[in-house]
Amino acid sequence: MKNIKFLLMLLLAVCITFCEKDVSVSPPDQPPPKGSIIINSYPQEFKIFMNGKYRIRNTPDSIRWLGDGAYEISLRKELFLDTVFTIEVVDEGKTNVFIDLSKNPRMLGDLSIKTTPSGAEIFLNDSNTTKMSPFIFRNLLPDIYNISLKYEDHEDFNTQIAVRSSYKYEFTAAMIDSTIWEYYNIENSNMPAKVLTCIAIDNNNVKWIGSRDGVISFDGSNWNLQSPSNSRLTHQVVTSISVNSNNEKWITTIEGIGIA
């Protein structure tokens, strides 16, 4: 009986020894750093990169949980040069940054507009600039600008131009005399395509016009577009059209020839 008690006490002592060896205590969790950077810009919606990594944030926004130290910030946006600067976070404090890119000449661009004939009124984004061609608009913020040119007895000319940082865009437009020409485009008519490639006139005075969207027929009043989705046209990009003596239209596309 004494032997059994001795063995039990020995086993208990061994268990206690092993349990003591297995027990470990983790160090207490350290609180996260409290430093932050708040970044705003003019114009806004610049992508924010920190130390080369996009933070999935656009200006204005903040980056939080930063420890003390120097951080490289890059602001990036299409048409603009990158803006790079360094911010120092001290004592886990809050740092506010505002970047006005309109004050940096390197961020701006120029736009030169010329017309034939000269003297056309220039509109930017539907606003009359009171300027006449030729004219150079200097120090514009990068953007895509809607350009309208108006000249008496000529068709209005409309286009879009992308202005970039540190770049001068030179644009020249030939104004069409409406007293001589009857001019058709997608804005002043029901023409169903913008990029045209060729034209032929059949025996009934119907105009057949090739485009990158199919073949267009125009009888003087009605516009009709034939494409692979509604005709036997082999491809939507038409390269040439010819009319034979039987008034058949031979239409060439980038994938073959068809007869209409």
pLDDT surpasses 70 at 230: yes
Q: Which one of 88, 104, 120 terminates a domain?
A: 104
- pTM for this structure? 0.68
Question: Who has greater pLDDT, 160 or 16?
Answer: 160
Does residue 137 fall inside a structural domain? yes
* pLDDT-derived band at 184, boundaries 50, 70, 90: confident
Residue 12: its pLDDT value, please?
Answer: 54
42-71 pLDDT per residue, tens? 999 999 999 999 999 999 999 999 999 999
Residue 186: its pLDDT value, please?
Answer: 82
* pLDDT-derived band at 189, boundaries 50, 70, 90: confident
Residue 194: its pLDDT value, please?
Answer: 87
**Counted domains in the chain:** 3
The mean predicted confidence, pLDDT, of the chain is: 90
Per-residue 3-state assignment (H helix, E strand, C coil) for 197-239 = EEEEECCCCCEEEEECCCEEEECCCCEEEECCCCCCCCCCCEE
Residue 80: its pLDDT value, please?
Answer: 98
The CATH code of the domain that includes 128 is 2.60.40.1120
Closest CA to 59 of 70, 72, 46: 46
Residue-number span of the structural domain to which 229 is assigned: 196-259
79-104 pLDDT per residue, tens? 999 999 999 999 889 999 999 999 99
* pLDDT-derived band at 188, boundaries 50, 70, 90: confident
Does residue 190 fall inside a structural domain? no
Q: What are phi and psi of 97, to 5 degrees?
A: -130, 130
Residue 168: its pLDDT value, please?
Answer: 97
Does residue 10 fall inside a structural domain? no
Sheet bearing 168-174, strands edge to edge: 135-140, 109-116, 168-174
* pLDDT-derived band at 29, boundaries 50, 70, 90: confident
Does residue 80 fall inside a structural domain? yes
Does residue 187 fall inside a structural domain? no
Measured distance CA(13)–CA(170) in Å, rounded: 92
Residue 4: its pLDDT value, please?
Answer: 56
Q: Which one of 75, 104, 133 terminates a domain?
A: 104
Other C-beta atoms closer than 10 Å to the C-beta of 208 total 21
Least confident among 30-34, 107-111, 219-223? 30-34
Quick one: 219 and 163 in the same domain? no
User: What does the pLDDT average to over 228-233?
Assistant: 90
Q: Which one of 104, 126, 147 terminates a domain?
A: 104
